Amino acid sequence: MLASPGRGVPNGGMGVQEEVRATATSREPTVEDALWSLYDEAGEVPAAAKRVARFQRLSLEESLSMLARATPQQVSVASKQATLAALARANDGELPRYQEFRDVYEAYLRTLGEEPRTKLRFGDTDVALGDQVEALMAAADRLADTCDIQDVVVEGHEAVWVFSEIETDQSFESLTFWVNPDNWLRWGPILFKDMHPVGGLVTVTQGSEQTHGTYMEVVSLLGRKLFTELRCDVKYTADWAGMTYDLGRSIGNDLTVDRGFL
């Protein structure tokens, strides 16, 4: 995947910080606000990103509570696991203010399918914690290691190249579901907010099934929505499936590069 931010568009004279603040505080908090608030708590939101971010900064307790109530359709279990691991990693393997928010943490852990039973030391007290915060951190580290990330230049634009290669025991039918852009909203709800064809799709069925067309993609990153028209080409055969996408048009010129393959 290649992605690069653009220059943005005029905002009616409102300063960026003022616009961000107004956007973040004039609405009800969301699970996305909660997720990014925990990453911010863990020190994983760079200062430069916070200057343009539009997520509403919530307290630690409110963030944990909101994510504990969130369904898998709102926030995936993997996202919840990674967020908790980030908190623990930033606090020397301990969950911040665990004794104060113990009930909230345990409710959060139960949504991961884990029962609080492992003993970890917090200060001078042994407390019951959910299955292996250390295991969550190790799993998050392994996931991070699957991504190769490099800064590159594409057609004169600075961009970030991300490559990941994974194995799975999921069925071929599940993989074809995952590849199809019509389904991205279902498996990545924290990022994808809308994905629908713009105009008609062209389907070819000679020897394989191919679909070609343009999709309107709406993603939310740090609370900021990006609207992008992507040219998508999807192909299925009896034993493999794949797709490519490339930037057609970035609404508001927020992106200059957005291309990749699955």
205 token code pair: 């069925």
Smallest CA-to-CA distance from 129 within 112, 146, 148, 143 is with: 112
Do 224 and 52 touch, CB atoms closer than 8 A? yes
Smallest CA-to-CA distance from 101 within 90, 119, 87 is with: 87
How many whole angstroms separate alpha carbon 11 and alpha carbon 22? 12
Q: Which pLDDT tens digit goes with each residue over 54-99? A: 899 999 999 999 999 998 888 888 888 888 888 988 888 888 998 8
Of the chain, the percentage scoring pLDDT greater than 70 comes to: 77
How many whole angstroms separate alpha carbon 229 and alpha carbon 197? 9
Residue 1 is predicted with a pLDDT of 62
Which has the higher per-residue pLDDT, 166 or 22?
Answer: 166
The H or E element containing residue 41 is: helix 31-41
Over residues 124-145, the mean pLDDT reads: 56
17 exposure class (CB count in 10 Å sphere: 0-12, 13-18, 19+): exposed
Residue 141 is predicted with a pLDDT of 67
Any idea how long the chain is? Answer: 262
**pLDDT surpasses 70 at 158:** yes
Q: Which pLDDT tens digit goes with each residue over 189-245? A: 888 999 999 988 898 877 778 999 999 999 988 888 999 999 999 998 888 899 999
How many whole angstroms separate alpha carbon 144 and alpha carbon 150? 14
Smallest CA-to-CA distance from 129 within 87, 98, 91 is with: 98
Query: Which residues make beta-bridge pairs with 192?
Result: 219
Handedness of CA 74, 197, 52, 48 (dihedral sign): positive
B/e letters for 96-126, b = 16+ CB within 10 Å, e = fewer, are ebbeebbebbbbbbebbebeeeeebebeeee
Q: Which of 19-23, 71-75, 123-127 has the lowest mean pLDDT?
A: 123-127
SS3 of 70, please?
coil
Q: Which pLDDT tens digit goes with each residue over 192-206? A: 999 999 988 898 877
